[in-house]
Amino acid sequence: MSITTTPITPDIDLYLEQMFSNEDDLLRQLRIDAEHQGIPSISIGAVQAQFLSVYLRSMNAKRGIEIGSLAGYSAITLLRALPTDGHLYCYERNPEYATFLENQIAKAGFTKNTTIVVGNATETLAQFPEHETVDFIFIDANKEAYADYVLQTFPFLKKGGVVIADNTLAWGDIAKNDVSKTVTSLQKFNTFMKEHQGFLTTLVPLGDGMTIGVKL
Ligand SMILES: C[S@@+](CC[C@H](N)C(=O)[O-])C[C@H]1O[C@@H](n2cnc3c(N)ncnc32)[C@H](O)[C@@H]1O
């Protein structure tokens, strides 16, 4: 038993990467092709991806929303965890990234399982299909809008469904004072989730941290 979190040293990080990564040739090539196209290398890590796969499978997730899809690394990971008739709505602001994402999703064989919505998610989420419900919301876009994304998607999220938000350790700055506007937003977001009566929330310190709230 332990009451403290074991610090993730570089050797433990490497161990996790070697033991619990699901990165295959397609995802490796995606990272390379994205870099060649000038798309920033800011996707989730392979260990986080494996965690998301395990987590979504354990809850039998079928439908979900991703806010901030970039080149498709996390989207393909999420899609692979869904059943063959599963569906993922990808919200991506940048049209060039969205085109790259569309090609990668086709390459991975998930075109029919995916809807890509291009534009600012705070605006485009307002047109989310009426009566549609989802099992999860994966948030990885504008850090200052995380709480807004939760409020906007809350009505579509099933009871027992989850919100998973990335970067909630704020690149190591989450517990500091006098931090940037982005870090302050992430601090406020964690407090928002903790205090939200509609969720039971935790923070998993994998990668840059993922705040996870289950809808009560
Ligand atoms: C960190 S990246 C996402 C990485 C991706 N989830 C992955 O792990 O492969 C953040 C993405 O959010 C997008 N984004 C930022 N602000 C957005 C907004 N307001 N609406 C939709 N997408 C946004 C960016 O264009 C970028 O592609």
Domain that includes residue 101, residue range: 10-215
Q: Would you say the CB of residue 42 lies under 6 angstroms from ligand 1?
A: yes
Residue 101 domain flag: yes
Residue 62 domain flag: yes
Digit-coded pLDDT (tens) for 60-71: 999 999 999 999
What SS3 class is residue 215?
strand
Spatial distance between the Cα atoms of 69 and 74, rounded to a whole number of angstroms:
7
Mutate to test the pocket of ligand 1, among 69, 101, 115, 120 (most ligand atoms within 8 A of CB): 69
Residue 82 domain flag: yes
* Cα(164) to centroid(ligand 1), Å: 14
Total tally of structural domains belonging to the chain:
1
Residue 208 domain flag: yes
185-194: average pLDDT: 98
Is residue 41 classed exposed, middle or buried when 0-12, 13-18 and 19+ CB atoms within 10 A define those classes? exposed
What pLDDT shows up at residue 189?
98
Pair 128, 155: CB distance under 8 Å: no
Mean pLDDT score of the chain, rounded to an integer?
Answer: 97
Residue 5 domain flag: no
Alpha carbon of 182 to those of 43, 48, 54, 67, 135: distances in Å?
18, 22, 29, 17, 28
Digit-coded pLDDT (tens) for 14-51: 999 999 998 999 999 999 999 999 999 999 999 999 99
Residue 98 domain flag: yes
Q: Would you say the CB of residue 125 lies under 6 angstroms from ligand 1?
A: no
Q: What is the CATH number of the domain that holds 160?
A: 3.40.50.150
Spatial distance between the Cα atoms of 207 and 48, rounded to a whole number of angstroms:
6
Looking at ligand 1, which residue's alpha carbon is closest to its atom 27?
Answer: 70
Helix axis angle for 73-80 and 95-107, nearest 10°, is 40
51-66: average pLDDT: 98
Residue 1 domain flag: no
What pLDDT shows up at residue 5?
87
The percent of residues in the chain predicted with pLDDT above 90, rounded, is: 96
- Largest Cα–Cα separation, the chain: 49
The answer to which of 1-10, 43-52, 87-96, 197-206 has the lowest mean pLDDT is 1-10
179-184: average pLDDT: 96
Whether the per-residue pLDDT at 2 is higher than 80: the answer is no
DSSP state letters, 183-194: HHHHHHHHHHHH
